[in-house]
């Protein structure tokens, strides 16, 4: 096992464990989803509009709620994740709600060995990119799976926020570099963003920092045309810092602080 495979193995063990915790959490509200709730947010919904009849590939889909939400809106969906536990649950949920969806279990970088298709839309969101070491190869994978004229969209947490000590976010204290060093950053947490009271056995994860410019340039180098970017003073995650408050629209912000909490990129393939 090489170094990168070791990092993936550590991360996969944690995400395998998190599936059951997240599925039982109020944050994911699986019961509400099964009853008909859509898990998508306005940022991504407004980016695509009507997806009826379009093929959509969702990279790093966890246990598939967003993937299946797109399916409920009329898209023909395929979800990908490296957690077998997550993919198994995604398939169970799809069957339970009577939605046609395909799910593939593999690392994003191994997708060409596991899926031969092209899509109208490639989508990924919220806490996905930090688990990937190579943005150049990731962008080439995105381009590989887009049909000519297809659209890619990513909504992500703004990497600026990750420079702060979010493990003890009682004050703004810079702890991490905005840029990635030679090795990934290692973090430990006994709980999870979806359930602060949960006790997780697999504490450790390896993450890679990706400045916004790195993501944009990777997509351009892969042959995509960036058509739109967004930055937002609010977030889908209320646990990033201790000062965050939940808004009526479901997002979280930090009243009194003009900080970028999320960003988005929309790109097309010529």
Which one, of 8, 13, 7, 34, lies nearest residue 23 by Cα?
A: 34
pLDDT for the residue numbered 56? 98
Q: What is the pLDDT along the chain (270 residues), one digit of tens a residue?
A: 577 999 999 999 999 999 999 999 999 999 999 999 999 999 999 999 999 999 999 999 999 999 999 999 999 999 999 999 999 999 999 999 999 999 999 999 999 999 999 999 999 999 999 999 999 999 999 999 999 999 999 999 999 998 988 767 677 889 889 999 999 999 898 999 999 899 899 999 999 999 999 999 999 999 999 999 999 999 999 887 778 899 999 999 988 888 999 999 999 999
Q: Is 255 helix (H, G, I), strand (E, B) or coil?
A: coil
pLDDT for the residue numbered 169? 64
Q: Are β-strands 146-157 and 119-125 bridged in parallel, bridged antiparallel, or unpaired?
A: parallel
CA separation (Å) from 227 to 12, 43, 49, 66?
33, 15, 16, 23
pLDDT for the residue numbered 258? 87
Sequence-distant contacts of 2-8: CB under 8 A, at least 24 apart: 4/133, 7/133, 7/184, 7/206, 8/82, 8/107
Domains of the chain: 3-269 (3.40.50.150)
What are the E-state strand segments in the chain?
A: 55-59, 76-81, 101-105, 119-125, 146-157, 185-188, 204-207, 224-232, 234-235, 245-246, 252-253, 262-269
pLDDT for the residue numbered 1? 59
């Amino acid at each position: 096992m090489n170094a990168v495979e070791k990092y993936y193995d550590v991360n996969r063990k944690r995400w395998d464990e998190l599936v059951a915790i997240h599925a039982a959490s109020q944050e994911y509200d699986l019961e509400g989803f099964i009853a008909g709730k859509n898990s998508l947010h306005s940022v991504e919904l407004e980016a695509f509009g009507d997806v009826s009849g379009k093929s959509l590939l969702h990279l790093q889909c966890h246990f598939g709620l967003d993937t299946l939400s797109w399916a409920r809106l009329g898209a023909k969906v395929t979800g990908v994740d490296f957690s077998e536990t997550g993919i198994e649950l995604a398939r169970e949920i799809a069957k339970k709600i009577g939605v046609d969806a395909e799910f593939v279990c593999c690392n994003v970088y191994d997708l060409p060995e596991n899926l031969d298709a092209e899509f109208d839309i490639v989508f990924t969101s919220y806490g996905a990119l930090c688990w990937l070491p190579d943005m150049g190869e990731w962008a080439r994978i995105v381009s590989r799976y887009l049909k000519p004229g297809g659209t890619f969209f990513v909504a992500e947490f703004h990497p600026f926020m990750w420079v702060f000590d979010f493990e003890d976010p009682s004050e703004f204290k810079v702890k991490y570099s905005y840029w990635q060093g030679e090795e990934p950053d290692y973090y430990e947490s006994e709980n999870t963003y979806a359930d602060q009271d949960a006790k997780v056995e697999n504490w450790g994860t390896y993450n890679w920092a990706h400045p916004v410019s790195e993501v944009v340039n990777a997509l351009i180098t892969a042959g995509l045309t960036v058509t739109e970017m967004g930055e937002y003073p609010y977030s889908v995650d209320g646990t990033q810092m201790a000062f965050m408050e939940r808004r009526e629209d479901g997002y979280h912000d930090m009243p009194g602080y003009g900080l970028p909490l999320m960003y988005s990129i929309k790109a097309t393939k010529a």
